[in-house]
Amino acid sequence: MATAFPTERTVILTGAASPRGIGRATAFYLAERGWNVGIIDVDGDAAARTAAEVAEAHGVRAAGVGANVADREQAVAAVDALEAELPQTVALVNFAGVSSPIPYLEVTPEEWHRVQSINLEGVHWVTQRVARTLAENGVGRLVGISSVSAQRGGGTFSKTPYSASKAGVIGLMRSIARELGPLGVTANVISPGPIDTDIMGGTLTDERKAAMAADGVLPRIGTPTDIAAAVAYLISEDAGFVTGQTLNVDGGLYMH
């Protein structure tokens, strides 16, 4: 028998303080639906400001802290701080990530490590810490954010180090799903296609949007709300029988 969600529940979002980012849009989307929100971002001031705006807009409890998620001690301390301020943690969504447009033959050790440390190791450290809480309570939802780039072998703004790190997120979450399923915890991945944010080299022009949309089967690229809605489903109480899955939100760019 699945453990029911507590009346007051918190979702922790990493990388959710960028002004035009998916994470920030998701924070507001989930708060509107009754989730209390904890934000971890490399910019602690921005995390605190975003949390205050979320709380004011939707009347939920919210808190924001700064951390470089690639640093295990910072990642753990950030979750500790949020859990001390907010109701029971029920869900985690890992938005924190960096892009990498460097051609493969020019990838340096520094660039490789930079991307893997944030996009994969950072996801692991935060997820492991939150998973301890979820397992202890017997209920929870973990979500990793991959990319169509991982599934199609690039073909987007970012190249090899990014694709490898985002493929790693899929393997990580599937393995977590298998290990923690018996403890009442689900683990899934959302794999976005091109989304209208600044991570792909700045604000997109209409021409770039049209070119990106041409690869898919829908006549537009994605919006942060498209991803937020997918997150809302995967962390919902009703999604308790969905685990180890990769939900592509990409306008049909990659079908499998």
Amino acid at 208: R
Instruction: Look up the domain containing 61 and give its range.
Output: 10-249
Number of structural domains (the chain) is: 1
* Sequence-ordered strand ranges (E) for 184-238: 185-192
pTM: 0.95
Q: Does residue 200 sit within a domain?
A: yes
Q: Which two tokens stand for residue 26?
A: 């998701």
Please tell me the distance from the alpha carbon of residue 55 to that of residue 221, in angstroms, as a whole number.
30
Q: Does residue 2 sit within a domain?
A: no
Q: Does residue 35 sit within a domain?
A: yes
Q: Which residues contact 157 (CB under 8 A, 6 or more apart)?
A: 99, 101, 199, 200, 201
pLDDT in tens, 38-96: 999 999 999 999 999 999 999 999 999 999 999 999 999 999 999 999 999 999 999 99
Which residues are catalytic, by number? 162
pLDDT in tens, 126-149: 999 999 999 999 999 999 999 999
Q: Does residue 101 sit within a domain?
A: yes
Q: Does residue 255 sit within a domain?
A: no
